[in-house]
Amino acid sequence: MPEWLRIRRGDEALGEDAAQWTKCPKCGEMLYRPELAASLYVCKNCGHNFRMHAFDRISMLIDSDFVEIGADLIPGDPLEWVDKVPYPQKLERDREKSQLSEGVVCGFGAIGGFPVALGVMDFNFRGGTMGTVVGERIALLFEAARERKVPCIVCTASGGARMEEGMLALMQMAKTTLAVRRFIAGGNFYISVLTDPTTGGVSASFAFQADVIVAEAKASIGFAGRRVIEQTIRQKLPDNFQTAEFLLEKGAIDMVVKRPDLRATLIRLLDYAAGDPAHRSGRNGKAAVAHETPEEAPA
Amino acid sequence: MNVIVEREKGLLELEGRIADLRKHSADQPVDLSNEITALEDKYAQILREIFGSLTPWQRVNMARHPKRPIGSDYLAALDVFDELHGDRHFRDDLAVIAGFAKLRGRRVMVMAQEKGRDFKDKVRRNFGSASPEGYRKVKRLTQLAGHLGLPIVTFIDTSGADPGISSEEHAQAEAIASALATMADVPTPIVATVIGEGGSGGALALGLADRVIMLEHSVYSVASPEGAAAILWGESAKADEAAARLRLTSDDLRDFGIVDEVIPEPIGGAHRDAQGTISSVLDAVDAALEGLRHTPIPLLLDRRYAKFRRIGNV
């Protein structure tokens, strides 16, 4: 385990999990957790992708070190929201459950030797919903990546804007959009990786504003939730509706990638994005020769 | 049933009685003026009582009032309007009406979400819920406005983006994301006004603006009160409670710094003086455009960035 993750997680949290068995929600197969972790949380029986913890996904993608930014940002309770329980209580519960301070982890590291900015959302925290802190962290990530002139990769998993923060949450769609546009205008490369599920305000903002949009196989992706659509049209939707494969067929995304191939795919994309230095003069700002010889570039 | 329409029933009855008395007083020997004055006083008092301060849920109903001025009413009040159609790919979405216009003498690009008036029109316009084609029309005309240096004026009034099968097949999320991205970039001022319902991302797609104006009894929300209630309590009947929690009124949103300016409505709502309301909205848009007119474009874009960058900072 890389040092940053050891520090971030603490040793005992890992020890607790280590001996557990878990059931595949798709096929019911009992899976031994350490084995499941080794197989990148893909069921060995049916190939179902478990929703990954943000730290596990970062570990899967990043070479070694990962320096987090914005980790100290904690949401307030601007609406003083109460439904069945007060919002701060829900946050506390999710912090405990997910071992995360919010629904996205952002930072810097390298993938296959390419320095990148990486944001990974986690469905375990309020269903990956975007509130003020998620929006702020994403904006900070793009701003910092723009300054450093490094490509940015965001792995999305979200039910949309966070209701408990009302319009302040919705406005994060505008905030993240502006940050993405500035980043891209600076001549930088943005890849989004859509994972299960990506819907609502996140899909309708930064998730679909990338230069290249990759989706993890079988991920559910769309704007409206499946239930909302079914209620509106009063009929059941076909099983493949809103899957990554469905979106690929409709032309909405660039590629569908199996989880074990994701890292290698990203490395190839990062390599293409280095372009030909001979033609870089038109792009303002980006360092053309920063990653000439990445360690894992394809032959 | 619209709770505002319900409340208006008693008033309409009273209005009828006053009109009747007036008519009769002309051909009757007895003087009815005292009765008329008394009824008029009572009428004014009821009007103040029931509309003087509206709950959030009542405001939601006011925003959805069947007689409330809608997008096309604002377009009709412009000096000139030349509609431009279509997304250049698939079809013309009638839930968004857009085109060249002159507003108080200014050349502008105008885009309005349109719910439609009579039933047939509403169906044609999908009740104001735009499909990806509508957002792609917005994107295309935003780019055209930027190309020509035309300020952009939008009118927001939708319960939300269309959640149908075809919309998903045509990548609704991408269409909204692209409209937002284009508005982030466009080198010309944008003034957005919420005139009725501001339903979530489908409304915001026309709302990434340098100045955001809101009619007093309009609402602007992350989720519909019915939808929120269904998620929170499993019953959409608690929509009134959800409406209060969501902080969706113009007062709330001004306090949050999301809305720059609130335009007051006549007592009883915009539909009680539609032309007056529309006129004051157009005046406010005109003033906002004048205010933005002399800002150099790089500064305008920096301020647009900063305006949304600070919302919800913790």
Q: Which of B180, B221, B245 sits opposite A174 (nearest CB)?
A: B180
* Chain B residues within an 8 Å CB radius of A168: 256, 258, 311-312
**Cα three-residue angle A271-A56-A45, rounded to 5 degrees:** 100
Give me the DSSP letters along chain B: --HHHHHHHHHHHHHHHHHHHHHHHHH-SS--HHHHHHHHHHHHHHHHHHHSS--HHHHHHHHT-TTS--HHHHHHTSSEEEEE---SSS---TTEEEEEEEETTEEEEEEEE---SSHHHHHHTGGG---HHHHHHHHHHHHHHHHHT--EEEEEEES-S--SHHHHHTTHHHHHHHHHHHHHH-SS-EEEEEEEEEEHHHHHTTT--SEEEEETT-EEESS-HHHHHHHHHS-GGGHHHHHHHHT-BHHHHHHTTS-SEEE---TT-GGGGHHHHHHHHHHHHHHHHHHHHTS-HHHHHHHHHHHHHTTT--
Task: Tell if the CB–CB gap between B308 and A175 is shorter than 8 Å.
Answer: yes
Q: Residue with structure tokens 């965001």?
A: A154
Contact B150, B188 (CB under 8 A): yes
Average pLDDT, chain B: 94
Q: Do B176 and A223 lie within an 8 Å CB cutoff?
A: yes
Q: Do the Cβ atoms of A207 and B231 come within 8 Å? A: no
CATH class of B60-309: alpha beta
B223/A163 Cβ within 8 A:
yes
Task: Tell which A residues from 110 to 139 touch B, by Cβ distance under 8 Å.
Answer: 131-133, 135-136, 139
Average the pLDDT over B234-248 and give the result.
91
- pLDDT tens digits for range B65-100: 999 999 999 999 999 999 999 999 999 999 999 999
Taking an 8 Å cut-off on Cβ atoms, the answer to whether A168 and B170 are in contact is no
Contacts of residue A25, Cβ cutoff 8 Å, sequence gap at least 6: A48, A50
Chain A interface, mutation test: which of B172, B252, B311, most A Cβ atoms within 10 Å? B311
Determine how many CB atoms are found less than 10 A away from the CB of residue B180: 31
Q: Nearest CA to CA, how far is A255 from chain B (Å)?
A: 15
A55 sits in which H/E element: helix A54-61
For A247, other C-beta atoms within 10 Å of its C-beta total 24
What backbone torsions phi and psi does residue B129 show, to the nearest 5 degrees? Answer: -95, 110
The beta-carbon neighbor of B308 closest among A161, A171, A233 is A171
DSSP for residue A279:
G
Residue in chain B closest to A200 (alpha carbons) equals B173
With a CB cutoff of 8 Å and minimum separation 6, the contacts of B66 are: B2, B5
Candidate from A76, A82, A200 with C-beta closest to B201: A200
Banded model confidence at residue A281, pLDDT cuts 50, 70, 90:
low
Between A120-124, A285-289, B157-161, B261-265, the lowest mean confidence (pLDDT) is in A285-289
Helices (H) and strands (E) in chain A, counts: 12, 9
Task: Name the minimum distance, in Å, from the CA of A46 to any CA of chain B.
Answer: 27
| pLDDT for the residue A286 | 45
Domain map (residue ranges) of chain A: 1-50, 52-275
Directed axis angle between helix B297-309 and helix A172-185, to 10°?
Answer: 140
| CA–CA dist A81, A83 (Å, integer) | 7
What's the pLDDT tens digit per position in B250-305? 999 999 999 999 999 999 999 999 999 999 999 999 999 999 999 999 999 999 99
From chain B, pick out residues whose CB is under 8 angstroms from the CB of A160: 201
- Nearest by CB to A208, which of B173, B185, B308? B173
Nearest to A242 among B168, B208, B222 (CB): B168
**In the structure encoding, which two tokens stand for residue A87, read together?**
């919002």
Task: Specify the 3-state DSSP secondary structure of A60.
Answer: helix
CB pairs under 8 A between A and B: 175
Annotated domain spans of chain B? 3-52, 60-309
CB-nearest partner of B173 from A167, A223, A232: A223
Q: Say yes or no for a CB contact (<8 Å) between A170 and B308.
A: no
**ipTM > 0.90 for the complex:** yes
- What's the pLDDT tens digit per position in B182-213? 999 999 999 999 999 999 999 999 999 999 99
**pLDDT band per the 50, 70, 90 thresholds, residue A295:** low
Correct CATH for A52-275 of 3.50.50.60, 3.90.76.10, 3.40.50.2300, 3.90.226.10: 3.90.226.10
Cis peptide bond prior to A88, omega within 30° of 0: no
Q: Residue A78: what pLDDT?
A: 95
Q: What are the two backbone dihedrals, phi and then psi, of residue B142, each rounded to the nearest 5 degrees? A: -65, -45
Least confident range from A171-180, A228-237, B177-186: namely: A228-237
> Percentage of residues in chain B with pLDDT exceeding 70?
100
